[in-house]
Amino acid sequence: MAERDFSEEILRKRMHGLYLSRGCAGLSALSRELLGLHCWFTRNVPFSALIRGAEIGGWKTALTKTWLYRGTLHGVNYEDLPELLALHAGGASYLGRFFGEAFVERLGAEVLRYMEDGVRSRAEFRRIFAREYDEKTVEALFSPWGGIFVDLARRGQVAFRDMASRDFDLISAEPAQGFDEVLPGLLRRFFAAYGPATLEDAAWFFGLWSADAKKLRALPLDDLPSFEWNGSRYFEGEGEGEEAPMADIPELTLLSGFDPLLVSYADRSASLPPEHKARVILKSGICNPTVALRGRVAGLWNIKKGEPAVEFFEAQPERIRAAALERVDDIRLRTL
């Protein structure tokens, strides 16, 4: 197979697995299959769901918003949390690097006690702990980026009250298994949804480094379909040949901010041309909503001041511009 055809086949299979060329069963099923939906910005979840054909009624409470891989926020099914959190359970705490593990342990227990008494907002905690600590310490402990709540969330003890809330609730989703127990199953689930993908892609997606990343290479994967291309081995999910034929790569596709097609791979060149990367993934780490033509990013879209907006990087036929604007407007109307 020619190199260009092989690249397009990888993209075609990924778009099928990520529900960009077919409809999904619903929001909860989508989150389960994709191992969570990225939601650094809350609206990414309804955007991503609508793009993939899911209804979003009740979406704010259908999923649980918490920190997962790579320290990023995801919307996940509550019952899936113990397994997903087990990947990073027991590791060094986020704040322990600065304050020491003993301090973080003591502070976390104190925060949980206040939450049991009804304290839920970051602002309330800042006022309470300002009596005991200086302003710089309080800012770090209750930072808008997470602070102590990241550590408590990784233990399965705290999550956001709902997908749109900035307040927190107590939960009981502590991991019952260890890293080595959940890794094989989660890796296979990753390849089923995100494949064809490499072990490097999986390590990036799950935020595994050094010794943990090496464990990926030791897992038995000989029963999975795989192939070599450009010096890398790509794995796919089990039973690839049993599904109905996959659709071709769509001519036009909207992608949400932090879309799984763009942020889930160590090498993003299959869907994100290098010359456009700086406009899509900003220096701050934010990944903008994009428009893809034949599976490759060709522009940006958004909803600005209540109106649909589309900007292509290069001139496109009017029918393409009109079709993109129509799809963005449909999302605008369905998320009002």
What's the mean pLDDT in 281-293? Answer: 95
Tokens of 241: 């040949």
Instruction: State residue 240's pLDDT score.
Output: 47
Q: What is the mean pLDDT of the chain?
A: 93
Q: Write out pLDDT tens, residues 167-182.
A: 999 999 999 999 999 9
Dihedral pair phi/psi, residue 112, rounded to 5°: -60, -40
Instruction: State residue 241's pLDDT score.
Output: 46
Reply yes or no on whether the pLDDT at 56 is more than 60. Answer: yes
What's the mean pLDDT in 308-326? Answer: 97
- Any long-range contacts for 62-65 (C-beta under 8 Å, 24+ apart)? 62/27, 62/28, 62/163, 63/27, 63/28, 63/31, 63/37, 63/163, 64/159, 64/160, 64/171, 65/39, 65/159, 65/160, 65/162, 65/163, 65/165
Instruction: State residue 6's pLDDT score.
Output: 79
Q: Write out pLDDT tens, residues 4-38.
A: 567 899 999 999 999 999 999 899 999 999 999 99
Reply yes or no on whether the pLDDT at 89 is more than 90. Answer: no
Instruction: State residue 13's pLDDT score.
Output: 95
pLDDT bin (cut points 50, 70, 90) of residue 244 is low
Instruction: State residue 54's pLDDT score.
Output: 93
Instruction: State residue 1's pLDDT score.
Output: 45
Residues contacting residue 158 through CB under 8 Å, at least 6 positions apart: 66, 112, 115, 149, 152, 168, 169, 170, 171
Range of weakest confidence among 74-78, 229-233, 295-299: 229-233
CA 136 – CA 53 distance, rounded (Å): 45
Reply yes or no on whether the pLDDT at 328 is more than 50. Answer: yes
Range of weakest confidence among 95-99, 125-129, 170-174, 281-285: 95-99
- Residue written as tokens 């939601």? 39
Of 80, 33, 26, 68, give the one whose Cα is nearest residue 49.
26
Reply yes or no on whether the pLDDT at 2 is more than 60. Answer: no
What's the mean pLDDT in 112-133? Answer: 97
Q: Residue 330, by phi and psi: left (phi above 0), alpha (psi -120 to 50) or beta?
A: alpha
Dihedral pair phi/psi, residue 35, rounded to 5°: 60, 40
pTM comes to: 0.93
Q: Write out pLDDT tens, residues 187-224.
A: 999 999 999 999 999 999 999 988 888 999 899 999 99
Instruction: State residue 5's pLDDT score.
Output: 63
Instruction: State residue 331's pLDDT score.
Output: 96
Residues contacting residue 227 through CB under 8 Å, at least 6 positions apart: 196, 233, 234
Reply yes or no on whether the pLDDT at 184 is more than 70. Answer: yes
Instruction: State residue 236's pLDDT score.
Output: 95
